[in-house]
Structure 1
């Protein structure tokens, strides 16, 4: 089997008979997929970030390009400052029915609830939400029977008929099959009609190391359900496989009649117990059918490619010069992005950010970032503090972030670890724009011991000749889910702490594990 390649949305096509897993790297959990002709569309959870529910397109299930976000207007998504980290938008289901795309999702923030959005073009615009107040659980699913009834199944596992156009429930919810007796967290249900049976796919065991996928079948959508004798049909619990926490899956039949599963998983690194830093990512696995039950193939970093031709899609640019009239769909903000907090026209060719919250500790911080998608990467930005203070940050949540900040004639590096905030380095710099750098250094292959960190994060200032002055190196385990808790992964981006801060460009470059900056590196005294 070929050595795994770095996986990103829009990576190049396979040439050696394999593709790299994950197929969508970085914080893209709870994938839901549907096919329309030869095109595939996939949606993921987005939690406390705005815009919400990233949407991807593919022609081969391996190469994915983000084409938008379902919830890209404030009127669609209300995430007040009181929304806790890892709350917000949970587990969408994406389906195509009767010539329209339907997406049902739950916002667990105050005033949220379950709602449905629709579109004729998945790239948008999507409709305003239609509330479904009768659904009180998360992870809702939509399925239609031959009589036109729409069945909504949700975590628990419960089910009720609904009118998806009005959000009205029809009848009373009833309990379905909920997996193995006593299993933790039966959730993520998806309902399918395959041949003469209805299949109910669920996750169980919790979204940590015990995560698993199980399935049952019935002759009617409302049951009764018979569990598969080989359950769970997928789990990596109790193994030493490099991909863990496998679960929350969805099935899709390809145009050639083959079947595939998208699912979430994590790539823990370092010593014991292993820390995953990118969040839960989207993986792909083949599915075959035996005696009327699905059999899931291996989920590994390098997978046998599908039999059909590859359809590579354009990769997002490494560098954004902020010359466009809008931000691309991959850019995220924390909870909201008020119009008066940012501008691409105030200083043409620059992104201008105006501070709201005073730091990354604040729930209403002015922040524009992107998911970290590689175990090793380099991120640089040209920053003009312009009398304010701001810079680059690696964020997991308000209580776990590393920052390199320019302003007041200096650059400093801060680390927020729970209740402790430390300033690790301060270096004077001339007035005017400065180039800030963050490098994430993944471990070299075979470099392992029990207390080994999953990665190192290096913070520095880059000179015009490419020389990098490193101000601090920090252990990456403290920006991991195993330390911070929650459901999200790292986001790297730009912020304003005080006043107005301008950003000329930002580039994000994948690196090979164990490599450092391209220029000479000097440790700051």
Structure 2
């Protein structure tokens, strides 16, 4: 597994692999002919918001309990996106989020560029509304400031008005506050760090027409205040826009985009942005179940001071989402870019595609300069039932409708019961792992249904290897051997596992498993190493993790 010992001989091949990984092998939105296809990001970037800064566009999205949180994506043309940073390396309160808190944490952030600084506001439904800032979005962000403490406040967006006043709009989560489908506006101090007025209700979606109104984005144009807010529910709703000459209303309302005759169900929450050539565009998500909330880009035009989003074929003022369209005019052509997926683990920096299910502890694993990442076996609690509460899962988003993920690893087990493997995680999950059992390593598949309900795993043993096959303590480096674990995902999120002992011939094993989304997030794929024991722990050295379209 020591790639570094083969560095000179393999340098050219390694450089080729690194270069190839810059562009996704599973999904590219840019069609190369001046057009693009939706989704522009076939991955779970829920509740996206976007802002412009000169010729640059920056996007962030909900990250819930996954850490690092608040992904920062960059684009120059709204089609080709790179994942460049995370604004939240540690989630607070730290002690609370040191444990897996599914569905909690960062909900529906807003990103804005104002007076040379970038601002992100988000709502934590259990703690309140937070703010962080940065002069360079790809650099370090400030520590979170609690703008307003309390339960149930979600989906905040600021607005700096021409008269110097600063406003904040937000919604409420019924699960915490007992009320929902209402939008309120309050005033912030000049620094935007503290709410200084009581909230004023500006819209009530409990009108029999616009239930589940949420995710408001506040803008101003041509003397009108605009609130862009989805209504009708994530999977079946529509894009509502409100406008008023007064910040506190009354607001007129109009549906400006709906599914119509398309296959894009419930075109949902997002943000409006203008290019440097004056074009208007709308970035939003579509809920695709196990694949998460994938990102669409739709053209937007203004008619009589109302936005129309998508293609309005019948000219009724309400558009439909586009499948393919001419790329935004940004004055020049930019190269194809996609978020990272594969990882050779050749540097000290973990690839930006990876997140943990809770705040990371150092002992979960270490990057190295030796060509691999070492994942230490996390100790399972005495009350362990299934992986729902396990924090040291190293995961990434599904990158496309169909893909294959393969990991090359060497497992150093110190005690019986320790295991390492590849996992597809959600409300239901399944994994293929290698577990030490006396003088054998057992290849096994586990399936768990409704993991949040504390249901136990169903485990099936598939094959076994002698202990000499995989590395054991005391075995010399030149005797290291590896196992390759693979999951192939096809349409409908159907997952099939396979393994190989030489990286060339793969044997399909176990039962097909249909992935299911997690709590407010799509299914994820990744790696784990765990032990049911206390004391000295073993580890898995992962040589690489590769995503392909095989």
**Structure 2 equivalent of residue 326 of structure 1:** 349
CA distance in structure 2 between the aligned counterparts of 1:171 and 1:213, rounded to whole angstroms: 29
**Residue 186 of structure 2, aligned match among 157, 160, 170:** 160
Q: Is the 8 A contact 1:23 1:284 kept in 2?
A: yes
**Structure 2 equivalent of residue 459 of structure 1:** 497
**Residue 147 of structure 1, aligned match among 132, 139, 163:** 163
**Structure 1 equivalent of residue 295 of structure 2:** 282
Q: Is the 8 A contact 2:343 2:545 kept in 1?
A: yes
Q: Is the 8 A contact 2:29 2:40 kept in 1?
A: no
CA distance in structure 1 between the aligned counterparts of 2:306 and 2:192, rounded to whole angstroms: 35
Q: Is the 8 A contact 2:83 2:340 kept in 1?
A: no
**Structure 1 equivalent of residue 433 of structure 2:** 405
Q: Is the 8 A contact 2:91 2:97 kept in 1?
A: no
SS in 1 for 2:143: coil
Shift of 1:262: 0.6
Whether 1:258 and 2:258 are equivalent positions in the alignment is no
Shift of 1:40: 0.3
- What per-residue deviation string (whole Å, max 9, x for no partner) do you get for residues 117-142 of structure 1? 00000012000011112565100011
Q: Is the 8 A contact 2:442 2:461 kept in 1?
A: no
**Structure 2 equivalent of residue 370 of structure 1:** 396
Q: Is the 8 A contact 1:376 1:439 kept in 2?
A: no
Whether 1:436 and 2:487 are equivalent positions in the alignment is no
**Residue 86 of structure 1, aligned match among 103, 111, 116:** 103
Alpha-carbon spacing, 1:89–1:78, altered in 2? closer, same or farther (3 Å): farther
Q: Which runs of 5+ in 1 are unaligned?
A: 1-5, 268-275, 444-453, 516-525
Whether 1:380 and 2:410 are equivalent positions in the alignment is no
**Structure 1 equivalent of residue 321 of structure 2:** 299
**Structure 2 equivalent of residue 395 of structure 1:** 425
CA distance in structure 1 between the aligned counterparts of 2:110 and 2:503, rounded to whole angstroms: 49
Q: Which runs of 5+ in 2 are unaligned?
A: 1-22, 172-181, 311-319, 471-480, 532-536
CA distance in structure 2 between the aligned counterparts of 1:317 and 1:215, rounded to whole angstroms: 34
**Structure 2 equivalent of residue 357 of structure 1:** 380
**Structure 1 equivalent of residue 131 of structure 2:** 116
SS in 2 for 1:277: helix
Q: Is the 8 A contact 1:20 1:301 kept in 2?
A: yes
Whether 1:200 and 2:227 are equivalent positions in the alignment is yes
Q: Which moved more, 1:363-372 or 1:340-349?
A: 340-349
Shift of 1:319: 3.5
CA distance in structure 1 between the aligned counterparts of 2:446 and 2:190, rounded to whole angstroms: 48
Which has the larger helix fraction? 2
Q: Is the 8 A contact 1:53 1:70 kept in 2?
A: yes
SS in 2 for 1:169: coil
Whether 1:416 and 2:448 are equivalent positions in the alignment is yes
Alpha-carbon spacing, 1:316–1:92, altered in 2? closer, same or farther (3 Å): closer
SS in 2 for 1:46: coil
CA distance in structure 2 between the aligned counterparts of 1:338 and 1:508, rounded to whole angstroms: 25
Q: Is the 8 A contact 1:46 1:54 kept in 2?
A: yes
- Paired positions, count: 474
Q: Which moved more, 1:17-26 or 1:351-360?
A: 351-360
**Residue 146 of structure 2, aligned match among 114, 131, 152:** 131
Whether 1:487 and 2:523 are equivalent positions in the alignment is no
CA distance in structure 1 between the aligned counterparts of 2:343 and 2:24, rounded to whole angstroms: 20
CA distance in structure 2 between the aligned counterparts of 1:465 and 1:508, rounded to whole angstroms: 12
- What per-residue deviation string (whole Å, max 9, x for no partner) do you get for residues 334-362 of structure 1? 01211122112497633333313367525
CA distance in structure 1 between the aligned counterparts of 2:243 and 2:339, rounded to whole angstroms: 41
CA distance in structure 2 between the aligned counterparts of 1:318 and 1:73, rounded to whole angstroms: 22
- What per-residue deviation string (whole Å, max 9, x for no partner) do you get for residues 428-483 of structure 1? 1243143333333424xxxxxxxxxx24211111231511111123231xx324xx
Alpha-carbon spacing, 1:114–1:458, altered in 2? closer, same or farther (3 Å): same
Shift of 1:206: 1.9
Whether 1:24 and 2:41 are equivalent positions in the alignment is yes
**Structure 1 equivalent of residue 539 of structure 2:** 501
Q: Is the 8 A contact 1:412 1:426 kept in 2?
A: yes
Shift of 1:88: 1.9
CA distance in structure 2 between the aligned counterparts of 1:95 and 1:158, rounded to whole angstroms: 19
CA distance in structure 2 between the aligned counterparts of 1:176 and 1:76, rounded to whole angstroms: 31
Q: Give me the TM-score of the superposition, normalised by structure 2.
A: 0.80
**Structure 2 equivalent of residue 191 of structure 1:** 218
Q: Is the 8 A contact 1:19 1:305 kept in 2?
A: yes
Q: Which moved more, 1:362-371 or 1:138-147?
A: 362-371
Alpha-carbon spacing, 1:305–1:199, altered in 2? closer, same or farther (3 Å): same
Q: Give me the TM-score of the superposition, normalised by structure 1.
A: 0.84
Alpha-carbon spacing, 1:325–1:367, altered in 2? closer, same or farther (3 Å): same
Select the structure of larger CA radius of gyration: 2
